Chains A and B, each alone.
Chain A
Amino acid sequence: MIRDDRPGYWRRTCRLMAAALVVWLAAGLGLNLLAGDLGERIVFGYPAGFLLAALGSPVLLVGLAFWFADRQDRLDRDYGMAEED
């Protein structure tokens, strides 16, 4: 369905931006601090905290970036705001 609704489009874009930033904060700083709380505990033979900060956080951030690009793209097309190729 194609709508031409600029304010609505921008409202949804803002909401997506806020959601992306919340996830960014959680997956970035939040996860690192949480991992800090886990400290030197070993889970399943691995130092969970360190790996969470060293690998979990980067993987989530990459996922977030691709997810955001995809959602915003869908939003653009839903509202007929996407570029014509």
Chain B
Amino acid sequence: MASNTSGRSSFVDDLARVYWTYALSFAVFVTLAAILEQVGVPDRVLGYLFVLFTLGAYATIGALARTMQVAEFYVAARRVPGIYNGMACAASCLGGAMFVALPGVMYVLGWDGLGLILGLGGGLVLIAVLIAPYLRKFGAYTVPDFLALRFGGLPARLVAIVILACCSLAYLTAQIHATGIVLSRFLAIGFESAVVVALAAMLASTVLGGMRSLTWSQVAQYIIMAVALVVPAVVTAIDLYGNPLPQLALGDALIEITSMERELLESRLASPGEITPHLAPFATLGERNFIALAVCLMLGTASLPHIVMRFFTTGSVRQSRTSVAWALLFLLLLVTLAPAYAAFAKVEIFGSVIGSSVAALPDWVAHYSGLDLVAVYGLSVSGVETVMAGVSAAIAEGAAEHGAVAAGLDAKAAALWNGFGEPVRAAIFNAVSEDPASRAGEVWRRAILSAAVTSENYAARLPLAQFSIDRDAILIAAPEIAGLPYVFAGVVAAGALAAGLSTANGLLVAIANTMSHDVYYRTLDREASTAKRLVVSRVLLVLVACAAAWLAASRQVDVLSVVTWAFSLAAAGFFPALVLGIWWKRATSWGAVAGMLAGFSTALAILAVTRFAPEEGVRWLAMTPAPGDAAALAGRAIEAMVHLTPSPAISGQVGWFGVSSTAIAVIGVPVGFVVMIIVSLVTPAPSQAMSRFIDDIRTPRGRSHMEAERVAERVREFGRGRR
């Protein structure tokens, strides 16, 4: 099949050398940045250099992989070696929000966070065993394409397009949002401008080469993600336990955490209600929700089009299976670092933050407090900084005591100021009036000291309840806690950026390919020429990207909850149809259409009820709030995961059998299966031709259905050219 692809660029033949050169030049770049940092170049400039280098690399790869061939544009001409495809898939699976938040979620949830690792990893096994080899043999360009040919035509294709568009667009919006947040932190620019930068980066690495550009830039992104997660973890593991394998050093850290938890309780720095023992299984989610969450993530991974389509690009059916194994290895290599990060952070926080004098907190606490990621006694350095300008102005105008300050503050500063306790206000006022040039960090230290003393904590040893840390900071602060130079904070941020972009690009290509192939070519204009189809694909790619970026910039989204919903909705819509379409010859067109509609709409309906009308769900649908004591805990867990206010009424904490709404696939998928099986059994069996078609995709040997179709197409086009 490779014989007729002219214009292949040199790097497909020479991948190992290209990516080693790339990785080495990244290492050289990081070293240079470290030297620049020592010389005194400001952090912000370094941030710009990082963004320029990495985005430049992705754009270059995207441009090098440009193509004018349909098969290259949609499936990278099916010549991607399994191991590289595995890297690209791992980058696709691990999105930006997950990448940054996973260590933090593990930090909050302890044991129960392991359900996420299982969920992300387990789904790939399902793809390898049940789905990927067969779709690869079929030779599909998109997931709806397969469903349409297997289930006879337009209705199946339309339903599949709708499901794909819903899940992937929501997910894409969330990814762009996450990428925008990373970029705006990195470059210290506004969120909207950051979204525009993200959009430009996405288009640069997809428009020219579609799937081909996507594949090779995702491999490059995976390499950055791996460096960003592995290096700080290894350095910390050696530093703390002399063990270069973070996953093994985790064991020592856990033992230390258990004894620290006991000491905190004994010294009354924490009360029993405030500590969820890190090692206690199912303490936060409960066993049932743990299983539900894992299952939902697994089924979602196996159904989300941007992940499934990664396996359309491998060189053979055989490689599609090994490629999944590689993807799993590469993904778990990164994801299993999350519990280690969480444990190391807990050792640091329980060991040198909680219980130390508030006057002598480690430097990183003040630093990340300045980014509003850490607060002590509810006070952050950035908050103090916000009010300080107003306070100095008031002093300059002759205010003699803190009561006179409030009048001169702008709205944001005034809200903060009024939220501070009386003694804190006094402390800030005194600090500024004694030395108008004092830095925010110093003023903050005096403010928390006075807050501690006011709460009758005369020894000023910081109790657990008065320390709060943002979920994302667990990873972001890790290099600094480990004593690495600042450039590594840059490397971690570059990793987060790569994670966000790789998933966003994957989703973007999945949606745009479906729009151009299924909607335009297969449905609207079946006679369209190759050149026209490529133009349409590119235009649609740009339109979808702009629409999603606009949505991301204009709406506030809880990224992680949107991600879990996308997983659930995709699973409920696609999983039964994909699996039964391959494994059950008796599955009929109407069965598939009904099953997809039923599964998807059930999941969507439950989501809508639990999210927007939980009281109605309880009243009419016999839903129950998540049971007993677990309700409060689950509320906390969900809060940790999605940053919602933990009111059970709005965080979707109602459901059936005590399963939370984040795991609606647990109900949607069985509904889809049952409806599909019943409707299939009452409608006439598929034809002989269909049976032969299924036999065909079940056998690796021989030409795929789509290849035959494409030959016919080429002959037709050749004829047209002659006329």
Contacts and interface: CB of A to CB of B under 8 A. Distances in A.
A61 B325 CA distance: 9
Contacts of A1: none
Contacts of B118: 28-29, 32, 53, 57
A53 B279 contact: no
Contact of B129 (A68, A83, A84): A68
Contacts of A47: 251, 254-255, 258, 279
Interface string A69-85: 10011001000111111
A45 B256 CA distance: 11
Interface string A36-52: 11011010011101110
B129 A58 contact: no
Interface stretch (B47-55, B373-381, B601-609, B698-706): B698-706
Interface in B263-302: 277, 279-282, 287, 290-291, 294-295, 298
Given A42-B255, A45-B255, A68-B321, A20 B125 contact: yes
Nearest to B111: A50
A65 B318 contact: no
B332 interface: yes
B299 to A, nearest CB: 12
Contacts of A20: 125, 129
B294 A69 contact: no
A6 B691 CA distance: 13
A51 B251 contact: yes
Given A61-B125, A65-B328, A32 B115 contact: yes
Given A32-B118, A73-B318, A66 B325 contact: yes
Contacts of A42: 255
B329 A62 contact: yes
B199 to A, nearest CB: 35
B254 A24 contact: no
A33 B287 contact: yes
Contacts of B111: 36, 50, 53
A49 B133 CA distance: 35
Given A13-B698, A45-B255, A69-B324, A28 B122 contact: yes
A7 B122 CA distance: 29
Residue of B277, B317, B583 contacting most chain A CB atoms (<10 Å): B317
A29 B699 CA distance: 31
Contacts of B115: 32
Interface string B88-129: 000000000000000000000001001101100110111011
Contacts of A9: 699
Interface in A1-43: 6, 9-10, 13-14, 17, 20-21, 24, 28-29, 32-33, 35-37, 39-40, 42
A58 B124 CA distance: 11
Given A32-B115, A51-B250, A55-B247, A40 B322 contact: no
B386 interface: no
Contact of A69 (B254, B280, B298, B321): B321
A interface residue count range (under 10 / 10 to 19 / 20 to 34 / 35 or more): 35 or more
A61 B281 contact: no
A21 B122 CA distance: 10
A57 B583 CA distance: 27
A82 B626 CA distance: 51
B254 A32 contact: no
A48 B611 CA distance: 38
Contact of B701 (A17, A58, A83): A83
A24 B121 contact: no
Contacts of B614: none
A46 B248 CA distance: 10
Residue of B133, B282, B336, B701 contacting most chain A CB atoms (<10 Å): B701
Contact of A49 (B129, B281, B336, B701): B281
Contacts of B129: 17, 20-21, 24, 68
Interface in B306-321: 316-318, 321
Contact of B322 (A6, A17, A69, A81): A69
A62 B700 contact: no
Nearest to A63: B325
A69 B695 CA distance: 20
Residue of A33, A47, A66 contacting most chain B CB atoms (<10 Å): A47
Given A29-B291, A76-B318, A83-B317, A50 B125 contact: no
A46 B255 contact: yes
B318 A82 contact: yes
17 contacts: A29-B122, A40-B281, A46-B251, A49-B279, A53-B281, A54-B114, A54-B117, A55-B247, A57-B117, A57-B118, A57-B121, A65-B125, A72-B321, A81-B701, A83-B318, A83-B700, A83-B702
Given A50-B254, A55-B336, 6 more contacts: A28-B125, A29-B294, A39-B279, A58-B335, A65-B325, A81-B700
Interface of A: 6, 9-10, 13-14, 17, 20-21, 24, 28-29, 32-33, 35-37, 39-40, 42, 45-47, 49-51, 53-55, 57-58, 61-62, 64-66, 68-69, 72-73, 76, 80-85
The list of the 10 closest CB pairs from A to B, nearest first, reads A65-B325, A36-B281, A69-B321, A58-B332, A46-B251, A40-B279, A28-B122, A66-B325, A69-B322, A20-B129
